[in-house]
Structure 1
């Protein structure tokens, strides 16, 4: 990876929002998290799983959103208040209302990931790579 590309990626991935919108960045963040796992998944990876599944449900336009999808999110660690909200929205059957509930899940996940030490560690690791590449470039 060139220094310019690394700088661009660091600038882009310095934000949780931008990281989660970029499939390559999300993949690298997941790999980073998986290297840190020693036993059960930590909260950051659970919120990443929830974010990805909720995003997938948002992209589905031809399927109804029913209790089984809420259950899949609950299995991934969906907080109780969001579970109740999605159940209520699923009963309404209104896709726009359901999407609003899913966006609430995305917001919660993004906020929790941003507050996590794991994301700070990910950004710090990027800074370390960036510095090493700058040193190699100057030699």
Structure 2
């Protein structure tokens, strides 16, 4: 008589998704990412939530040099994106000249990060999620950088 095998106990994360960035991509997905005016890339961010109704997207770039990491520069802000069925997504093209003050970013290696602030119908902040391109929080590898020409 053959004994039935029982599946090993699997722990599943059954906690509800409160606020998170579920997708952060750059197209074309060739690493390292190089951008110029003649070669822009498309940046896509998707979020998931079960409570919030709106999301404000903030995109920042930090220049990485051999000596130090320079302060962040806000390159794009998209306020009040509606969340439908627990999801929201935005896309925009980036060519290195998309600064909020109209100036062009200098050539070099840059780290892209995104902050998403989740809000309710009264515009009160419920939570925040942050992610850097490449998804690593402790270390930055050369393929995680965006190179502006």
- Normalized against structure 2, the TM-score is what? 0.26
- Structure having the larger proportion of residues in strand: 2
> Higher Cα Rg: structure 1 or 2?
2
- Normalized against structure 1, the TM-score is what? 0.27
